[in-house]
Amino acid sequence: MDKNTDMRNKIDEAFDAFDAIQEVKVSPFFKDKTMNRLFAEKEVQQTTWSWFTPQLQLATLLCFIVLNVFAFRQYNSNTYNSNVTEFAESYGLKTTEATTSLFN
């Protein structure tokens, strides 16, 4: 019997809690603001390469071209071949013929 009265008291307390709930006062534009925030299309910004601007790309390209031209001229110069030959002689890596191929 005590079990039924305890259960009945808990149910009554729950219904009394419902009676204590009051109406909430909300701004008349709350729904509009909420819907705009939910369904607003946000701009997606790429942050990965955003620092690599066209000006920086051009400067990088020019540096790359200058370095390649400089390296190509150094590779084709006679001093390069004489330096390699001198290096090979000093370490005993003499070759019988001088070739400029990269694959030999």
Q: What is the pLDDT of residue 70?
A: 92
Residue 104 has pLDDT above 60, yes or no: no
DSSP-derived letter for residue 3 is H
- The answer as to whether 28 is a domain residue is no
- Report helix angle 78-90 to 54-76, nearest 10: 60
Phi, then psi, of 96 in degrees rounded to 5: -80, -30
Number of domains composing the chain: 1
Q: What is the dihedral of CA 32, 38, 43, 44, to 10 degrees?
A: 170
Among 3-12, 15-24, 94-103, which stretch is predicted with the lowest mean pLDDT?
A: 94-103
- Residue 45: band (very low, low, confident or very high) from pLDDT cuts 50, 70, 90: low
- The answer as to whether 4 is a domain residue is no
Q: What is the pLDDT of residue 5?
A: 85
Phi, then psi, of 51 in degrees rounded to 5: -80, -15
Mean per-residue pLDDT, 58-86: 86
Mean per-residue pLDDT, 16-35: 87
pTM of the shown model: 0.35
- Cβ(66)–Cβ(73) under 8 Å? no
- The answer as to whether 29 is a domain residue is no
Range of the domain at 83: 57-92
Mean per-residue pLDDT, 61-82: 86
- The answer as to whether 13 is a domain residue is no
Please state the separation of Cα 71 from the chain's center in Å: 33
